[in-house]
């Protein structure tokens, strides 16, 4: 059985990026390491992609 996937909506100085992640979805308020940055989950919402049933964690500095 494969691990569940979710999306990260990641803030960058050049705009937002949408990334796929495997594992357990982080909760709002949790810190997530993306590259060399630690970002905070601000909200969990449905995927912004049409027809995608996954959840998306929105991250900010």
Q: What is the pLDDT along the chain (61 residues), one digit of tens a residue?
A: 467 999 999 988 888 999 999 999 999 999 999 988 899 999 999 999 999 999 999 999 8
| Tokens, residue 37 | 């940055």
Going edge to edge, which strands form the sheet with 37-46?
15-22, 5-12, 55-60, 37-46, 31-34
Given a contact cutoff of 8 angstroms between Cβ atoms, the answer to whether 21 and 7 are in contact is: yes
Tally the residues of the chain. 61
Domain locations in the chain as residue ranges:
5-60
- For residue 55, give Cα distances in angstroms to 11, 13, 14, 36, 43: 17, 24, 23, 24, 10
pTM of the model: 0.88
């Amino acid at each position: 059985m494969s691990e569940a996937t979710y999306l990260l909506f990641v803030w960058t100085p050049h705009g937002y990026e949408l990334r796929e992640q495997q594992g357990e979805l982080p909760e709002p308020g949790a810190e997530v390491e993306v590259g060399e940055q630690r970002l905070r989950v601000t909200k969990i919402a449905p995927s912004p992609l049409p027809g995608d049933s996954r959840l998306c964690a929105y991250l900010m500095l």
